[in-house]
Amino acid sequence: MSHKLEEARIYEAREGAAIPAHDRPLFHLTPRVGWMNDPNGFCYYQGAYHLFYQYYPYDTVWGPMHWGHAVTTDLLHWDYRPCALAPDTDADAKGCFSGTAVPAPDGKLLLLYTGVQQAGDSPEEVHQLQCLAVGDGTDFVKEAANPVIGADLLPEGGSAVDFRDPKIWYEDGRYHCVVSTRDAHDQGRILLYESPDARRWTYRTTLDSCRNEYGKMWECPDFFPLEDKQLLLVSPQEMEASPDGEFHPGFGTVALLGRYDKTEARFTREAVQPIDYGTDFYAPQTLLTPDGRRVMVAWMENWATVNEAPRRHKWFGRMTLPRELFLRDGRLCQRPVRELETLWQNTITRRETLDGDAVYEGVAGRRLDLTVTLDAAASPDCRRFTLCFAENDRYRTRVEWSPLYNELLFDRSGCGTRRDIPHLRRLKAAPQNGRLTLRLILDGDCLELFVNDGQRVLSALLDTPAEAEGISLHSEGPLALELVHHTLH
Ligand code: FRU
């Protein structure tokens, strides 16, 4: 083991142990200590789910990238494993950037990641190339021949300056991976490679590109079948807002749904949608569970605002709740993993006709799973519904539904923040079969809102003191609703 890796392991064990559990969310993974960004190497291996992450243990800001590591059997309770990779070879001396993991037929776990290396005389001149490390689920040995996908394997127009985030999978006796690059026209492009052994790779084709429409560089691709479609997930930089308001500007996440002809290696794009409509969601990655569920996890932050975010703990950054993906009416939909139900306690169910303001006994807290079903069809005179949470006399975050516009407004500007960053999001929300459902999951400062059983999802962070626990509901005009509230333990 290199000195750098050993040092990181000693440091994180000591400093991580000093962080009390109540300083962390209950079931959203945070770094053992220091900084976390993208999920990496999310996989199922030897009876447990492994999640690695972009990691700088020594500070709560981004730095030379390591890979942190945690494991879980229920996707909710995580145990830290020792730091998996440190930037300690020539091929990755400037950082072990994002990548993925795949169990090999011989029982080993393979990590394919981006090594950032010096490419010229000035420290700014770096190349991003793909590297391999092989291990047993705890310790990994980097290939002496790294990078395994070098600049010589870039197609015409690709650039080693932006060439990163390989997603590897094993299928039909071969390894496959997709990698992003930024081409000569400043367009993000997803490249497909193949290999018999994860060491010798050949370039096959370009699967898709942003075509001047969905941002510029595309980061962190994922590529997998879901039901009768093939999905390409990407995280574009420099998005422009779309005229219909579906896509917000800046760092976005996009799902491209289409068909895949494996023999020809041809992806045909049929539909495009945002993956998440919130302020804090980026770089998602998926795995397939042993029972066949496609589960996704993402970094619950945003590069645009991360540098001014408060540093209240010895850790910074977190992952979303893992979510099950499925298709409905041609859209990618998401639900919290069903394991979350094992945390339910103190269930309260109410049916009400609300006209004005209401607070319901026992419906409060910051660790909860609350579903409100609005019977829009039976409530023609309701003009507006508002759900407030993480609320006291000083703070509140609200979600407001307008039946007239079939639109949902999320507003966290009153959450306690002192930062002038985006606090509002608007998204379409039309009743389905006469009903609109809002499922709110709160875990301390982490908020995830699932609209219409996962048709649209919004992830956001709050900056609200823990004592603001109130939940109130408001309706202008009579509204029939049902509410199911669970606290989470
Ligand atoms: C995305 C990203 C990746 C890169 C990593 C570096 O958030 O920029 O493209 O590999 O973060 O930490």
Confidence of residue 197 (pLDDT cuts 50, 70, 90): very high
Q: In this model, does residue 489 exceed pLDDT 90? A: yes
Confidence of residue 260 (pLDDT cuts 50, 70, 90): very high
Measured CA distances, 394 to 2, 179, 386 (Å): 51, 47, 17
CB 297 within 8 A of CB 319: yes
Q: Which of 54, 217, 239, 301 to mutate to test ligand 1, by most ligand atoms within 8 A of the CB atom?
A: 54
Confidence of residue 137 (pLDDT cuts 50, 70, 90): very high
Confidence of residue 305 (pLDDT cuts 50, 70, 90): very high
Q: In this model, does residue 121 exceed pLDDT 90? A: no
pLDDT 10s digits, 20-41: 999 999 999 999 999 999 999 9
Instruction: Render 147-204 in DSSP notation, one character per residue.
Output: -SB-GGG--TT--SSSEEEEEEEEETTEEEEEEEEE-TTS-EEEEEEEESSSSS-EEE
What's the number of CA atoms in the CB half-sphere (13 Å) around residue 90? 5
DSSP helix/strand/coil, 44: strand
DSSP helix/strand/coil, 6: helix
At residue 124, the pLDDT reads 84
Question: Residue 419: exposed, middle, or buried by beta-carbon count in 10 A (0-12, 13-18, 19+)?
Answer: exposed
Rounded Cα gap, residues 238 and 271, in angstroms:
20
- Mean predicted confidence (pLDDT) in 216-222: 97
At residue 169, the pLDDT reads 98
At residue 411, the pLDDT reads 98
What does pLDDT average to over the chain? 97
Q: What angle do CA 56, 249, 409 make, to 5 degrees?
A: 100
Rounded Cα gap, residues 470 and 278, in angstroms:
22
CB 372 within 8 A of CB 363: no
CB 425 within 8 A of CB 279: yes
At residue 120, the pLDDT reads 84
At residue 425, the pLDDT reads 97
Residue 402 neighbours by CB under 8 Å, 6+ apart: 383, 384, 408, 409
Pairing of strands 435-443, 446-451: antiparallel
Q: What residues are in contact with ligand 1 under a 6 Å CB criterion?
A: 37-38, 54, 65, 97-98, 114, 164-165, 219-220, 282-283
At residue 334, the pLDDT reads 98
Residue 390 neighbours by CB under 8 Å, 6+ apart: 366, 396, 397, 415, 442, 447, 462, 464, 468, 469, 470
Rounded Cα gap, residues 96 and 91, in angstroms:
9
pLDDT 10s digits, 45-63: 999 999 999 999 999 999 9
Ligand 1 atom with the smallest distance to the CA of 165 is 10
Phi and psi of 71, rounded to 5°?
-130, 155
Q: Which structure tokens are listed for 471? A: 């939940």
| First-to-last C-alpha distance (Å) of the chain | 39
Active site residue 329: no
CB 409 within 8 A of CB 424: yes
At residue 55, the pLDDT reads 98
- Mean predicted confidence (pLDDT) in 412-420: 96
pLDDT 10s digits, 158-194: 999 999 999 999 999 999 999 999 998 999 999 999 9
Q: Cβ–Cβ contacts within 10 Å for residue 405, how many?
A: 12
Q: Which structure tokens are listed for 35? A: 């900084």
The alpha carbon of 245 is separated from its chain's Cα centroid by a whole number of angstroms, namely 21
Q: Which of 40, 62, 96, 97 to mutate to test ligand 1, by most ligand atoms within 8 A of the CB atom?
A: 97
Confidence of residue 122 (pLDDT cuts 50, 70, 90): confident
- Write the Ramachandran bin of 431: left for phi over 0, alpha for psi from -120 to 50, otherwise beta: beta
Using the mean position of ligand 1's atoms as its centre, give its distance from the Cα of residue 283 in Å: 8
Rounded Cα gap, residues 66 and 96, in angstroms:
6
% residues pLDDT > 90 (the chain)? 98
Q: Which of 94, 96, 98, 117 to mutate to test ligand 1, by most ligand atoms within 8 A of the CB atom?
A: 98
Confidence of residue 261 (pLDDT cuts 50, 70, 90): very high
DSSP helix/strand/coil, 81: strand
CB 245 within 8 A of CB 234: no
- Mean predicted confidence (pLDDT) in 343-348: 98
The alpha carbon of 272 is separated from its chain's Cα centroid by a whole number of angstroms, namely 18
Reduced 3-state DSSP string for 419-442: CCCCCEEEEECCCECCEEEEEEEE
Q: Which residues pair with 168 in a beta bridge?
A: 177
Ligand 1 atom with the smallest distance to the CA of 217 is 9
Instruction: Render 231-251 in DSSP notation, one character per residue.
Output: EEEEEESSBPPPTTSSS-SBS
Q: Cβ–Cβ contacts within 10 Å for residue 46, how many?
A: 11
Q: In this model, does residue 344 exceed pLDDT 90? A: yes
CB 276 within 8 A of CB 283: no
At residue 211, the pLDDT reads 92
Q: In this model, does residue 293 exceed pLDDT 90? A: yes
Measured CA distances, 420 to 312, 377, 386, 412, 424 (Å): 18, 38, 23, 11, 11
Q: Which residues pair with 188 in a beta bridge?
A: 182
Q: In this model, does residue 302 exceed pLDDT 90? A: yes
What's the number of CA atoms in the CB half-sphere (13 Å) around residue 107? 1
Rounded Cα gap, residues 414 and 421, in angstroms:
12
% residues pLDDT > 70 (the chain)? 100
The alpha carbon of 102 is separated from its chain's Cα centroid by a whole number of angstroms, namely 19
- Mean predicted confidence (pLDDT) in 187-206: 98
Q: Which of 23, 38, 172, 355 is catalytic?
A: 38
